[in-house]
Structure 1
Amino acid sequence: MKATERRPLPGSERQLPADAQLIGPCPPDTEIEITVYVRSRNPAEREQYFQWVTTGDAPPLSPEQFAERFGADPADIEAVKRFAQNHQLRVLSYDLGRRSVALAGTVRNVSDAFGASVSDYRHFGGTYRLRQGTLSIPQNVNGIITAVFGIDDRPQASAHFRVLQPESKAAAAAAQSYTPLQIAGVYGFPTGLTGAGETIGIIELGGGFNQTDLDNYFQQLGVTPSPTVTAVSVDGATNSPTGSDNGPDGEVELDIEMAGAIAPGANQKVFFAPNTDQGFIDAVTTAVNDANVTIISISWGSAESTYTAQALTSFNQAFQDAGTMGKTVFVAAGDSGSSDGQTDGANHVDFPASSPYVVGCGGTTLNANTTSDTITSEVVWNEQASGEGATGGGVSDDFPKPDYQSNVNVPPPSTQGGGRGVPDVAANADPVTGYQVLIDGNSIVIGGTSAVAPLYAGLFARLNQARVQQNQARIGFANPTLYQNQSAFRDIVSGNNGAFSAGPGWDACTGLGSPNGGALLSAIG
């Protein structure tokens, strides 16, 4: 077979959004940057080593060790470089651990290299470069290249936070809102631990933070000094506050303030990336391969059906790699109930929360006495009738039921390849009983499962600190351990998120339930 013959790139097929309006062909000389991902070395050994780390039979690998054993083969990187040069594409950088090559070139040359059909469209209130159909690659890199991102720059994800609307009927009836420290008390988070020695990586696809906001907020809580927060640029995105507390700044500062209040001794690295499939996956792989990051929090996502198969596979592999390196990943499960905001009448789960290698975080409505740290009631968060959202949750169409869910009652999947139940855990997320935060100088109340992911990230920073003090490994891939210790969670048995209802044990609204921090420390600390 000739090297010039082309083959379809598996999983690369992409459809146009239903609302896309054609403007015309992309100017062919427009310069764009793309990311090419390649296969790993020793894939069977990589899978086995992940299992050994999970069961405690092997130590987690550092990113450097991981790159050497399971990163890209340098020969594969060279093959991609030659392919790029043959199509007048420039090699910007490559990373063996991330198994990625960054390329740049004109729309004409990129389209020629990958057999892409690209045009400009109006979509989602903006103008974007969209592609449709399946990409193709020459035979000499077939099997080497596993995914290509960046040819299409449509928005990929939404932030999963909800600002309490003062005019809503639900707001008028709200009993209270909470600070993160009050929630930590109510959920019995272990005291005397600050997350010292940990670094929480936070993924953000827009907006930014103001250090003055953070300093003022933590000072109000009595958290001094403020946690150290460092912005990391991915694919050209930067810490860029918009000045709108109901925009992406709300997500960014919510994440930082939640994690920082719970684990003030932990450092934070905020990875800013463009809101595209390229930006999202590049931010995740950058955080996963960061030598300092020990825990990752993601509060962005969208329905599984909005991702290409190559994207689902690439993200999922990155999350498994995180486990091999001893890192725990928490992801918000979505704020639009069992439909995940889709209008086709079907049930959908949010991704990346549906990856079997992350802890999917659902939401509850919590009423508690913060003086006595007692819970009055806790039910599934569902305020859709008043426009205040509902927790995501359901059954994956793309990922099978993992072994750690074999003893819980996950509803049957709607597809042969599905079955992974979402979420795994939950905590307070209703904006009506939400969190008091400071965004762009404004004191507001925010809810959403966006708050739950950094809440758990902060809790696990405390738990990791306790383990390290006992000369134990960090928790890493946590899901099997969580399901083996269901008694460390408060079972939520009332409410629904649309199609799914809560009940005894795991359910597709709140997973195992809300945390008992002290019990978790006893079980896994």
Structure 2
Amino acid sequence: MPRANQNTRADYQTEPRAPLPGSEKPSFAAATARTATSSRKRISVSVILHCSKPIPSSAVAGKHLTRAQFKAAHSSDPAGVKAVTAFAKAFGLTAKSEPARCTVVLTGTVASMEKAFGVTLHEQAAGDVSYRVREGAIHLPASLLPYVQAVLGLDNRPQAKPHFRIVSPRAASTSFTPPQIAQLYQFPQGAKASGQTIALIELGGGFRTADLTAYFKSLGIAKPTVTAVSVDGGKNSPGDASGADGEVMLDIEVAAAVAPGAKIAVYFAPNTDQGFLDAITTATHDTRNKPTVISISWGGPESSWTAQARNALDQACKAAAALGITVTAAAGDNGSDDGVGDGANHVDFPASSPNVLACGGTRLTATGNSISSEVVWNETASNEGATGGGISTAFPQPTWQSSITATQPGRGVPDVAGDADPTTGYRVRVDGQTMVIGGTSAVAPLWAGLIALSNSQNKNAAGLLQSKLYAAAGSKAFRDITNGNNGNYQAATGWDACTGLGTPIGTAIISLLASRSATKKAVAKLRDR
């Protein structure tokens, strides 16, 4: 790391500046004409610093760290904290360091932020909501650049969308309760996820306790302990059954119903790149709730993220993996172009991070307690969506994916799959209504629940589990989906860019994750590099 910064206030104000790599923001195309932002308005931004020491690959591969060990060895670089604090003081900003999260939160007026970061902030409206927007790059004093990975929060336009689909009233449909889905996928019957906490990242909406009480009573399952955690001012704010509440309730009800006994911690944050990242880092380093799995059902095309935000969030997921926390993420509901509409292939982020388990979707039909058919979810002809999937252009192919056939050498999405078609969706309760909801949003908490069951049964944190899933023995733990497409990608034998390795045979997945052999091989391989 660079030497401790000794700059004075005057130095920071006069020092030559340079763009922060990857911080370039495009114009807000969906918005109306711009207006000035009040220069006196106070805002907070998250300055993401590099860790004092890089996270070791061995920890990600399976030699997990405790939260105390991580904080001691991989917190913010002290020299970086000192430099950013001095920089903040030079521009009249207050600084609060969050060492384990490698974050320094700066608070001050818009006018001070504009001077400090070399940007111009303005207001633009999209519909009835006004957002604070910046364009171009953030500029920092050259001596500060080696410490800073990202600066998030200057711009608060929406970053992500929830990946759920409410079945159309006109669609012919079949639906399942989450326990029925778990039974079809051979989750161990009667198993408990005792001692596990599943974290849910939510960027809007909320839940009502009365709905949870009624829903779990109808299933004959004890109501889970559900805790709401506020991040960056985000709150449990239930409102519209067809809006973000549908996402929140789907996530809670699926995860808790398939993993009875698990506690649920819901991290509510604003729908911004800052809120998204801060929610993940808060959950990862939460020493009170201590999540063992994080489920994410929100995302957006890789191209909609700045490189700084994308890389910082990927590093946050890497930190989670080093702590033994598995992060599951929905692969998207808009097929191979991820809704971009430019004719090209796009994958969804954070599903494309190599440090998360990317979850794609299928259409599942059953006869009694057995699966009679399962194909790639693609209902675009009837406007009911299709599973996301493809090849990342932002992240290289991980070593554990070296055996897959891909059209380009990037990280393949998804890794795994589950029922997601809204016409074969999940019966849930939202704002007093029984609804049928699908989307890959349902698959992320479904897999999170299976991993929580595995962690409890195996008494071992799964962490980043792909090395085991992609190993030769892993094929026996999946139903391979070989029919269908998501647009430009076709299902095939083995891994494909529609449903990944396939859908789970629950008991086999748990047995596979109990084995330590793949973990030992992965660690040894990393040491030999």
Q: CA deviation at 1:412?
A: 1.8
Q: CA deviation at 1:128?
A: 1.1
1:189 aligns with 2:187: yes
1:110 aligns with 2:108: no
Equivalent in 208, 215, 220 of residue 217 of structure 1: 215
Amino acid at match of 1:516: I
Query: Structure 2 matches for 1:42-441, cutoff 5 A?
Result: 42-43=53-54, 46=55, 49=56, 51-56=57-62, 58=63, 60-91=64-95, 93-123=96-126, 126-167=129-170, 171-172=171-172, 174=173, 176-224=174-222, 226-242=223-239, 244-291=240-287, 292-369=290-367, 371=368, 373-412=369-408, 419-441=410-432
Distance 1:332 1:223 in 2: 26
Distance 1:146 1:409 in 2: 33
Q: Which residue of 1 aligns with 2:525?
A: none
Q: CA deviation at 1:23?
A: 2.1
Q: CA deviation at 1:374?
A: 1.0
Q: Which residue of 2 aligns with 1:463?
A: 454
Q: CA deviation at 1:144?
A: 1.0
Equivalent in 488, 494, 499 of residue 499 of structure 1: 488
TM-score, normalised by the number of residues in structure 1: 0.93
Q: CA deviation at 1:194?
A: 1.3
| RMSD over aligned Cα atoms | 1.3
Q: CA deviation at 1:22?
A: 2.6
Q: Which residue of 2 aligns with 1:478?
A: 465
Distance 2:60 2:457 in 1: 19
Report percent identity of matched pairs: 51
> Cα deviation per residue 1:86-133 (whole Å; 9 max; x = unaligned)?
101122x32111000111111111011000122111236532111111
Distance 1:350 1:428 in 2: 18
Distance 2:433 2:33 in 1: 40
Query: Conserved in 1, the CA contact under 8 Å of 2:428 and 2:437?
Result: yes
Q: CA deviation at 1:64?
A: 2.2
Q: Which residue of 2 aligns with 1:24?
A: 35
Distance 2:468 2:421 in 1: 27
Amino acid at match of 2:463: G
Query: Conserved in 2, the CA contact under 8 Å of 1:118 and 1:129?
Result: yes
Query: Conserved in 2, the CA contact under 8 Å of 1:117 and 1:133?
Result: no
Query: Conserved in 1, the CA contact under 8 Å of 2:164 and 2:440?
Result: yes
> Cα deviation per residue 1:386-406 (whole Å; 9 max; x = unaligned)?
111000001111001111110
> Cα deviation per residue 1:477-500 (whole Å; 9 max; x = unaligned)?
111111111221100000011111
Classify 1:124/1:504 alpha carbon distance in 2 versus 1 (closer, same or farther; 3 Å). Answer: farther
Distance 2:236 2:260 in 1: 21
SS of 1:497's partner is: coil
Distance 2:140 2:408 in 1: 37
Q: Which residue of 1 aligns with 2:524?
A: none
> Cα deviation per residue 1:400-443 (whole Å; 9 max; x = unaligned)?
11111101112225xxxxx1110000000000000000000000
SS of 1:408's partner is: coil
> Cα deviation per residue 1:258-304 (whole Å; 9 max; x = unaligned)?
00101121111100000011111100111111231110000000000
TM-score, normalised by the number of residues in structure 2: 0.92
SS of 1:143's partner is: helix
Distance 2:61 2:52 in 1: 22
Query: Conserved in 1, the CA contact under 8 Å of 2:362 and 2:377?
Result: yes
SS of 2:199's partner is: strand
1:517 aligns with 2:506: yes
Distance 1:445 1:268 in 2: 22
> Cα deviation per residue 1:132-190 (whole Å; 9 max; x = unaligned)?
111111133221121101100000000000001112xxx23x3x210000011100012
Query: Conserved in 1, the CA contact under 8 Å of 2:60 and 2:318?
Result: no
Choose 137-146 or 357-366, whichever is displaced more.
Answer: 137-146
Amino acid at match of 2:98: D
Choose 99-108 or 135-144, whichever is displaced more.
Answer: 135-144
1:10 aligns with 2:21: yes
Structure 1 runs not aligned, ≥5 long: 414-418
Classify 1:306/1:520 alpha carbon distance in 2 versus 1 (closer, same or farther; 3 Å). Answer: same
Distance 1:443 1:352 in 2: 30
Distance 2:512 2:47 in 1: 41
Aligned length: 499
